[in-house]
Structure 1
Amino acid sequence: MNIAVLSGKGGTGKTTVSTNLALALKANYIDCDVEEPNGFLFLKPKVETEEKVMVEYPVIDDNNCNLCGACVNVCEFNALAKVKDDIMLFQKLCHGCGACEIVCKYGSLTYDKREIGKIEKGVAKNISCSRGILNISEPMAVPVIRELLKNLSDEINLIDCPPGTSCNVVNSLKYADGAILVTEPSEFGLHDLKMAVELVKMHNIPFGIVINKDDGKDNIVKKYCREEKIGLIGTIPYGKDTAVLYSKGEILYDDMQHKIVFDKLSKKTREVLLWS
C-alpha cells in the first residue's frame, strides 16, 4: 500500500509526520520533496546506492538544418526559438516530448541526455529510505519524482510529498492508495488544507487528517473535520519538548512519549484509510 503524506502549505510538519509514521508503520520512506528533501536529516540513513536522473533534449545539426522553423512552431514549451540564421534551444524548458524530431523533414534533430538530479537509497532504523534530489537551478522536478516512484515495492510505502498542491504533488499522488493530510490549527493552515482536500478528492483517494501543533482545544480544523465528515487520524500536541527534539534534528519516535503518539497515529491510519 502506498500512503502519500501531503499538506496544503510548507511548515505544517509534513516531514515530521512522514518520518516518524514510517517508523511506526515499519514502512519504506520515500522523500518526494526533491527540491528540499530533508527527511534524511532526521532518519540519517546510510546511503548505499546513488543513481543519476537523466532527461532527453534535442541536438540540432546546423549543417543540415534549413531554418524552416517547424520544430519551433510545434514546441508547446517554448524550448526552441528561431532567431535570424539560427534555431536556439533552451535546454531546461525542454520536456523531451519528441515532437520537434517528428516534424523535422530534414532529419536535423537527434536527442541526447543530460543529468538533472539523482536518487539516493539506504537503510535507517530497519526501514528502507530513498529520496530524490533535484540539481540546483533545474526548474522541472517531475522527472526526478517519476524516477523515484518507479517500481515501488509491494510493501507499505510512505510517500513524503512536496508541499502545496502543485504538479509535483499531483505526480506524487498518482501512485497513492491513501493519503494523510497534515495541517496546523490556524486560519492559514485551514485555508491551505481545504485546497489539499479538494486535490485528493479529485483523485478519489481515501484520506484522513493529522493536526500538528495541536492546542488541545476544539479548534477550527476539528470543527471543519466534523462539518465535512472527514476522518481525523489524530493530533500531535504542541509542546516545548517536541520543539527541542526537532531543533536538534532528532527523530521523535525515539522518545517514549512521542512513540506513544505515533503508534496511536499508526493504528488510526489503518482504521481511517480502511486498510486491512
Structure 2
Amino acid sequence: MKKIAIASGKGGTGKTTLSLMLSQLLSKDKKVRLLDSDVENPDCHLLLDVVEQKSREINVFKPLIDLEKCTFCGKCQEVCEFNCLLVMPKDVMYFKELCHPCRGCLLVCPEGAISEGERKVGYLHTGKINENFYFDYAIMDVGEARANPLIEELKEGIVGDEDYVIIDAPPGANCPMVEAVRDSDYTVLVTEPTPFGLYDLKIAVGVLGELGLKCGIVINRSEEDDGIIEDYAESAGLEIIAKIPFSREFASLYSKGIIEENFFPGLADDLLEFFS
C-alpha cells in the first residue's frame, strides 16, 4: 500500500482537483481509498457520485468531574500542558477548545474524581464510488477549534488492503496539514506559478523537511511563467512531477462538478508513470 498526500501551502491551488484526478486514474485497475481530510471545508463529495454511504458521529474524550469527590488539589491542572482545566477553591472549569484529549487528568487524580466522558466534534462519512474506488471524509462541527482529532479518526478507516491511499490534505502548513501528511510515503505539493504561490510553496517544503518526508511538485495553471517555480525546484533539489495547463474549458467543466481525468492526456500519462 502506498500513501500519497496531496498538499499545498495555501488554498485554491488545485489540490482537490489533482486528488480527484489521480484517484480516478489509479482506480481503473487498482484499489484506491481517497480521504478528504480538509475537515473544516470538505468538498470532494460534491464532485463524486458516492454510493453506499454510511455516517456516524466522531466523539472525543471529555473529563467528567465529580465535585463531591474533588478536593481541589490542582493535580489535574498541573498535568495539563494546554491549560484546559482551571481549579478554583470550590469549582473546576473545563475549556473544551484547549483540550487535547490525552486523559492525563484522569490518570493523576488521587481521589478518582475524574471519569471518562465524551463529546461530539463532528461526523465521519464513508462510502464508495465503485468496486475499486472508496471515499471517506469527515466534517467538523461549527464552533470546534481543533481539526486533528477528526483527521486521526478519518485515517483510522484505512483498511490496509488498498493499493493506494490518496489523502487530500487541508490547505496551508499548519497542524491539520501535518496530521494529514505525517505518515505518507510521498507528498505532492500543488502550486501555481506566481510569487504568492512560490512563497507558500517554500513554507510547505520547509514543514515537510522538518518531518523528513519526501515530496515533489505539480504546477497548476501552467503557462509561460513556470520558470519562477522551476528555478526554485532546481535549487531545492525537488522534482516537478507534472504540469496542469491553464484551460478555461477544464475550469468550466469543473464548475459544473465534472472532473475529466483524461482531459489532459499528457498529464494523465505523467501521473500514472510517476505513481505506478
> Which segment is superposed worse, 199-208 or 71-80?
199-208
Calculate the TM-score normalised by the size of structure 1.
0.91
Correspondence 1:12 to 2:35 = no
Alpha-carbon distance between aligned partners in 2 of 1:218 and 1:98, rounded to the nearest angstrom:
49
Shift of the alpha carbon at 1:230? 1.3
In structure 1, give the amino acid aligned to 2:223: D
Q: Equivalents in 2 of 1:46, 1:54: separation in Å?
A: 25
SS of match in other structure, 2:263: helix
From 126, 141, 145, the equivalent of 1:139 is 145
Separation in structure 1 between the aligned mates of residue 12 and residue 149 of structure 2, nearest angstrom: 25
CA RMSD of aligned residues (A): 1.8
Alpha carbons 1:24, 1:262 under 8 Å: kept: no
Supply the distance in 1 between the matched residues of 2:201 and 2:243 (Cα, whole angstroms).
15
CA distance in 2, matches of 1:102, 1:257: 56
Q: Secondary structure at the match of 1:213?
A: strand
Structure 1 residue 206, shift from structure 2 partner: 2.4
- Hey, what does 2:55 align to over in structure 1? 50
Q: Which residue is 1:96 aligned to?
A: 101
Distance 1:131 1:197 in 2: 25
Task: Look up the SS of the partner of 2:172 in the other structure.
Answer: coil
Give percent identity, aligned residues only.
Answer: 37
- Call closer, same or farther: CA 1:265–1:52 in 2, change over 3 Å: farther
User: After TM superposition, which residue ranges in structure 1, 4 or more long, deviate above 3 angstroms?
Assistant: none
The whole-number CA distance in structure 2 between the counterparts of 1:41 and 1:262 is 23
| 2:156 aligned partner | 150
Q: Which runs of 5+ in 2 are unaligned?
A: none
Question: Structure 1 residues 19, 86: closer, same or farther in 2, change over 3 A?
Answer: same
> Which residue of structure 1 aligns with residue 75 of structure 2?
70
- Give the aligned partner of residue 197 of structure 2: 189
Q: Does 1:21 align with 2:22?
A: yes
List per-residue Cα deviations over 1:105-150 (Å, max 9, x = no partner). 2111111111111211112255111111111111111111111111
Q: Deviations over 1:42-89 (max 9, x none)?
A: 123125222321111111111111222222222211211134521111
Alpha-carbon separation, structure 1, partners of 2:274 and 2:209: 18
Residue type of the partner of 1:204? Answer: G
Deviation of 1:231 after TM superposition, in Å, equals 0.8
Partner SS for 2:39: coil
For the residues of structure 1 that align with 2:67 and 2:113, how far apart are their CA atoms? 7
- State how many pairs are aligned: 268
Distance 2:57 2:230 in 1: 43
Name the residue aligned to 2:113: 108
Check whether the contact 1:2–1:157 (CA below 8 A) recurs between aligned residues. Answer: yes
| CA shift digits 1:187-240 (9 cap, x unpaired) | 010011111112222233222110001114442012212232311111111121
Q: Partner letter of residue 216 of structure 2?
A: G
- TM-score by structure 2 length? 0.91
**Contact kept? 1:233, 1:268, Cα under 8 Å:** no
CA 24–63 in structure 1, closer or farther in 2 if over 3 Å, else same: same
The equivalent residue for 1:176 is 184
Q: Which amino acid in structure 1 is aligned with residue 59 of structure 2?
A: M
Change in Cα spacing, 1:218 to 1:90, as seen in structure 2 (3 Å) is closer
Report how far residue 246 of structure 1 moved: 1.8
Q: Distance in 1 between matches of 2:195 and 2:54?
A: 42
